Structure 1
Amino acid sequence: MTSGSTTATSPWFVRPQSTGHPARIFCFPFSGSGASAFSAWPAAIDDAEVCPVQFPGRENRLAHPHYGTYENLAAALVEPLVPLLDRPYAFFGHCAGALPAYETVVRLAALGLPGPGCLFVSGQPAPHDASRDRMLTMTEPELRAELESFIRSRGIEPRPDMIDMGLAVLLRDHAAAGAYRREEPVAVPCPIVVLHWRDDPDVSLDELQGWRQYSDSVEFRVVDGGHYDFMDAPEELRKLLTCWR
């Protein structure tokens, strides 16, 4: 199949969608980040187009009202997603981004809309265990230090205005993460592949086991690297993201 033409995109997607790929992977960023978390990813993995999702209230959507809760985020995402569900697709969510990805699958199923061929969750405990995230207990100064450390780890020297803007986004995202509660697992009608990063200091493989309750088909895969290495789209990860087709 040829690369095909592209179609106009909504604010929820930073890349115009191609009509020439037979499948899509929608990518959900972690708390405090946006679609730029996937800027180093290729345009397609195998024959699946990479479609980073841009949440409101950050980056090029900084002026848009924050989504407030993961449930609100999932509900708002359905309408812009529907025209793009015309071919097989998967969801990939890293860290807290896995939670609105999951909630979106639940909502699509409730509406009788086409579901993903697979939900990939990376470095994130299951919804009923989400409140254990160590960052949810951090003070604002601690979050600022964490943000500065993260930016430096990406090879960038953080400016004060960059930190102030990033912290404002992170605090709103953390309020949503802290408010999220799903006490009882609701299974989704698709396989789940749970990715554990071997050198992740914050999330152990044991802490990911709760996902077993969320689908009849749950597979665990250990990937070399640390918590944020997904941003570089390492080859091992790209190969795993082809397994659902």
Structure 2
Amino acid sequence: MSAATSSASGRAERLWLRGLDSRRQTARHRLFVFPHAGAGASSYQLAEHFPDSIEVCPVQLPGRENRFAEPPLLSVEAVVDELAPLVAARSELPFGFFGHSMGALLAFALAHRLRDMGAPLPTRLFLSALRAPQLPDREPLHHLSDADLLTRLARSEFAGLDPELQELLLPTVRADLTVCETYEHCHPSPLPCPFTVFGGDRDDSVREPELAAWRAHTSAAFELRMFPGDHLYVRDTEQQLAESIARTLPVRGRETSPVRG
């Protein structure tokens, strides 16, 4: 690899992957974290709840936080095209994926891309608050007018945000909805990675049977765990969530408890 190529790769890594080498001396596993639609890498503060043996690396997508000036990407494929070589290049440690809502879809698609590349796979996928991709589509939102979309978002991840901030984030949110709503599931072969699927027990948008349907996408162990809360249950359960992940992430291939539901 030339010096110029190495430098470009390093810049891309720093843009996309936060927290790399933050626990260089102590990390034995790495957890890549994929945020929900419209959110940035700082949306979750999971790192402080993990032991020093687990390095948490939030993914920063274009169009938010320090990358706000960049145009957001419009498809799962476009995101995975960028992330796959970066993650594959940083597989010197065993790693897992945690994704919430849209982030779960990105984590799932990225795991499939890594398998297609012959690259190392996650030790486990932790997928949160997203219905399984083979289920019938719901009403798409990305084509709605700004006013109608803001009304719908007021009942979702953006509930409670200042109206001016909602309007500022609207282009990124619309792009992220496009990413989710134009995804076409085309992976008939299940992944060999174990899955842990999380959800909120009061989430009206993603119900427990829709979470349990992820079982079809792994040939390994499967676990479903419900937390108290709605679609954004993560905000109030980060410590419990981190403890649940830490119990299963460090051991590759360990069997989990039977699936609920």
> Under TM normalisation by the shorter chain, which class is it?
0.7 to 0.9
TM, length-normalised to structure 1: 0.85
Question: Would you say 1:132 and 2:138 are equivalent positions?
Answer: yes
Distance 1:117 1:101, change over 3 A: same
Residue type matched to 1:42 in 2?
A
Within the candidate set 89, 94, 98, 1:88 is matched to 94
Per-residue Cα deviation, 1:23-68 (whole angstroms, up to 9, x for no partner): 1111101111111211x32346122111110111222112223222
User: 1:13 aligns to what?
Assistant: 17
Does the CA contact (< 8 Å) of 2:140 and 2:181 recur in 1?
no
Question: Is 1:78 matched up with 2:73?
Answer: no
Separation of aligned partners in 2, 1:159 and 1:37:
19
Confirm or deny that 1:188 pairs with 2:191: yes
Deviation at 1:93, TM superposition (A): 0.6
8 Å contact kept, 1:25–1:91 = yes
Moved over 6 A (4+): none
| Counterpart for residue 227 of structure 2 | 223
In the alignment, which residue of structure 1 is the partner of 2:46?
41
Q: Which residue in 2 is equivalent to 1:108?
A: 114
Alpha-carbon distance between aligned partners in 1 of 2:92 and 2:67, rounded to the nearest angstrom: 26
- Provide Cα deviations, 1:50-89, integer angstroms capped at 9, x if missing partner: 1110111222112223222101211210222233211111
The 5 A counterparts of 1:145-164 are 145-148=151-154, 150-151=157-158, 153=160, 158-160=162-164, 162-164=165-167
Asked whether the 8 Å contact 1:128–1:185 carries over to 2, the reply is no
Distance apart, 1:232 and its partner CA: 4.4
Q: TM-score, normalization: structure 2? A: 0.80
Distance 1:85 1:231, change over 3 A: farther
1:187 to partner: Cα distance: 1.2
Q: Specify whether residues 100 and 125 from structure 1 end up closer, same or farther in structure 2 by C-alpha distance, changes over 3 A only.
A: same
Match of 1:4 in 2: none
**Cα pair distance change 1:148/1:201, threshold 3 Å:** closer
SS at match of 1:85: coil
Cα 1:138–1:128 shift into 2, 3 Å:
farther
For residue 136 of structure 1, report the CA deviation from its aligned partner. Answer: 5.8
Instruction: Letter of the 1:79 partner, please give it.
Output: P
Q: Which runs of 5 or more residues in structure 1 are unaligned? A: 1-6
Structure 2 alignment gaps of length 5 or more: 1-9, 251-261
Give the aligned CA root-mean-square deviation in angstroms.
2.5
CA distance in 1, matches of 2:206, 2:143: 15
